[in-house]
Structures are given as C-alpha cells and as structure tokens.
Amino acid sequence: MQVTETRSEGLKREYKVVLPADDLASRVESQLNEIKAKARIKGFRPGKVPVAHLRRLYGRSIMAEVMQEAVNDANRKIVEDNALRLAGAPKIDLPKDQDELEKAFESKADLSYVVALEVLPKVEVGSFDDVEIERLVADIPESEIDAAIKTIAERNRPFTPKDGEAVAETGDKVTVDFVGKVGGEEFQGGSAQDIDIVLGSGSFIPGFEDQIIGMKIGEERTVNVTFPEAYSEPTLAGKPAEFAVTLKAVAAPGTLDINDEFAKGLGFDDLEKLRQSMRASLEREASLVSRRKWKRELLDALDRKYSFDLPDELVEQEFSAIWRQAEAELKASGRTLADEGTTEEQERATYRRIAERRVRLGLALAEIGDVAGVKVSDEEVAQALFERARQYPGMEKQFIEFYRNNAERLAEIRGPLFEEKVIDHVLSQSKVTDRHVGKDELLTEVEAAEKAAEDEAQKGLGTAPAAAG
C-alpha cells in the first residue's frame, strides 16, 4: 500500500492511496482457500472444489469485501501514522473510469483512489482567570417557607361531605361532571366525569369555579367562560365556550393545624425538620434558576475566548438539525417566514451562525474536559437513565434496556452529564462574584436575560447551544 499526502489546508487533508493488484489478489486467494476447505458444492467432494470454480462463483463478491477491508486498513494507517483526530468519516473518491475500476476488480491493475479527511482543530485550553461571572443567590425568607408549607397543607386538607340542600361555597371541594362545547360543537378534552375541584383554587378556566358557587347536589347548570388568549391549546385560545355542568357532591373544608403532628404525617420528625427540608428544596430550585443565567454568561465568555477553524462537516450537521427543527416548529404553528417578518436567506444565515457557535463551544468544552480529566461514571449514567425512565410509567424496564443496548442513545445521556461537569469545572477556575437577591428579583433578572438572548438570536448573534448548555 502506498499513501501520499496531496493536500493539507486548514482542517482539510487529502491522501492518494494505491492498493497494489498483487496484494488484493493475494487477499482474494487467501479467502478462496478458506472457502475451499469448508465449501459444500454439489458435484464436488468436501474440500476438493477447484479454486477456479470458486472464483467464478464468489470472486467478485470476495474482491468487493477485500477492497473494503483494504480501504479501511488504509484509513486506519493514515490516521495512526499522522496522529489525526477526525471530525467525521473519511470520504473515498474511487476512479470514475469504469474500465479502470473493472481492471482492479479483476486484479489486473492497482486500485488508486483519493481519501478526503477533515480533522478536529487544536484547542489551546489555557486558564480561566479572565472569565468573570456574577452568580445570583436567592435569599429565602421565612415567609416563603411558611407559604410553601401552607400550600402543602391545603393539598392535604380534610373535607367533610355536605348533605341535603347544602350549596357549594368558596373553599368547598366539589365533584362534577361536565361537557364542554365551542361554537355548539364538543371539543377534545372538554368532557369529564367525577372531577374534583376546590372552589377558589383557580385550577380551572377563569370564571368556571365562580359559576359553580351556589349550586346544590344534583343540580345542572350551564357555565359560560372564555379561554385565555395564551391558552396551551391554540385552537381554543381566546374562544368562548359553554359547559354543561352537573354537581354530584360537595364537601366542606376541615381545619388543618400546621404543627409537629402534621409534619409527622408527611414523614418528618417534627415541624422544624419539615421547615429545614422545605428551605433546602426552595434553595435548590432557586439555584437551578440562577444556573440558567450564569451558565449562559459563562458560555458567552467561552465563545469570546476561543477562536479556531471549525470543521465544515460538523457545522453542516448542526445547521441541518437546527433548520429541520425550525421548519417543523414553523409548520406546527401554521405560520410562514413572511408572517415572522423574515426570509429564508436571513434565517439560514442566522441559524448557521448559531450552528457555528454550538460547534465551537462543543469542541472547546470537550477539550477542556479532556485536559481536566473530567469523567462521567457508569453509576451517574445509570442514575440519569433511571430518572429519565421514570417519565414512562409502566415501561421503565423496556426504556432502560433500549438505551443500554444502543450506544448512540446512551451517549445522549452521558453527553449532557459530561457537559455540566465541565461547566462546573470552568466555574471553579473562574472569578465568581455572588450577589444576594430576593427570589422575585432572581426570576425577573433571569427572565430578562433570557429575553435578551432571544432578541440576540433574532439578530443572528446566537444563543446558548443545546449541545453546549
């Protein structure tokens, strides 16, 4: 085998490979002899089938396998001898001349072809002393803990059935059947039986619960409401509807003391232990919200910090994935790019810049993690897989087996875990300033930052990538 480098520009590499006819013929001969020892062909004794006959039967298919194996060997040799890190699969350019290819198949001529490669860029990690991050820390007041515990208490409040001529009042739990219609036609999901509602909880469409007040058990009533403009189902948003409601039962709220006994009923030693657990839970929630903001800022800083050539193949793959998703979302919304005040050319340019950012950050984070020795244990992957499987009750075992038997799918679990660990590593090496805020201020600032990021995306400046945060 002869390998000659013919191109080395940026991340592009090309090599001319010549596979000698004698070598290919020898490989074919070796395989034919192996077949001869095992072949069972009518008219011949075992092990006595002439090689020439086997060549007529299997020669071309064996040569195809031999060529593929030889090409794979050449690719491995190129990568190993040149210490290359590939960005994608090698591209093989075989001879266009069919006569030339046919001669190679018949072992009458060498097989000469070109292999094109794209390599990963070298990323100089460096230090993170120049990365400055502000981390918002939410202070959880006692009143918020009280409110959270009260919410739990309300969900566990006992109710006593009302009998006779009693009417439904605010705070009562009612059981109803209803049939909803829009424009005189029933709609999907608009009918239900034996549904419990605590009047005044605001769990139903605005105005629905208010019109149940005053009803008696067994009474039927038509409730008229209008779906909110921002309703989750677009086909119902902003539309008036009427519900035929039947009240089947009413129960009055009982008293519920928030004390040690209440806490024990939830599995805690006493009320103080419940409060400690609630504080820890609220602090975790706030920390996750804060993370969304500082993580985006950290990724922005890394995007500014690193500049290197990007593999065209990786960028194109990322762009294609983003574009398909954008097209699907646009189609689902029933809108066009013109409706959005843009053109396909503008959107493609925007999404390509986002794709480039994602690839750049993905490569940078991978190199940072490699240099730092970041690892994701099998136990961590198993735990994350189990948590994801819990979203499919009754199918957990099948879900877990599917992922464990599919390396590509399992990488979808491991990848985000690795990324988060790398992000935490970078944060630990950066200059971090904590600023204490109230929870409302935290939410406001995070929402404002995310809105600003969306606006930047519309201008083509990119957003934090899915593959890198």
Token pair recorded at residue 12: 């592009």
Q: What does the alpha-carbon distance between residue 121 and residue 141 come to, in Å, rounded to a whole number?
A: 49
pLDDT at 114: 94
pLDDT at 452: 85
pLDDT at 177: 96
Tokens 């239900």 correspond to 192
In single-letter form, the type of residue at position 65 comes to E
Tokens 């993905």 correspond to 362
List, in order, residues 6 or more apart from 400 with CB less than 8 Å away: 385, 386, 389
Question: Going by DSSP bridges, is the β-strand pair 431-438/132-139 parallel, antiparallel, or unpaired?
Answer: parallel
List, in order, residues 6 or more apart from 366 with CB less than 8 Å away: none
Domain 2-118 has CATH 3.30.70.1050: yes
List, in order, residues 6 or more apart from 122 with CB less than 8 Å away: 308
List, in order, residues 6 or more apart from 168 with CB less than 8 Å away: 174, 199, 212, 213, 214, 215, 216, 247, 250
pLDDT at 36: 65
pLDDT at 373: 96
Length of the chain: 469
Would you kindly state where each structural domain of the chain is located, as residue ranges?
2-118, 157-253, 281-468
The angle formed by the CA atoms of residues 69, 74 and 79, to the nearest 5 degrees, is 125
Domain 157-253 has CATH 3.30.2310.20: no
pLDDT at 107: 78
pLDDT at 468: 39
Q: What does the H/E/C string look like for 108-169?
A: CCCEEEEEEEEECCCCCCCCCCCCEEEEEEEECCHHHHHHHHHHHHHHCCCEEECCCCCECC
pLDDT tens per residue, range 268-281 = 999 999 999 999 99
Backbone angles phi, psi at 224, to 5 degrees: -105, 125
Q: Which parts of the chain sit beneath pLDDT 70?
A: 34-40, 42-43, 45-59, 457-469
Q: Are 421 and 369 in contact (CB under 8 A)?
A: yes
CATH topology of domain 281-468: Trigger factor, domain 2 (1.10.3120)
Burial of 391 (0-12, 13-18, 19+ CB in 10 A): exposed
pLDDT tens per residue, range 92-141 = 998 888 888 788 777 788 888 899 999 999 999 999 999 999 999 999 99
pLDDT at 450: 87
pLDDT at 101: 78
How many other C-beta atoms can be found within 10 angstroms of the C-beta atom of residue 56?
10
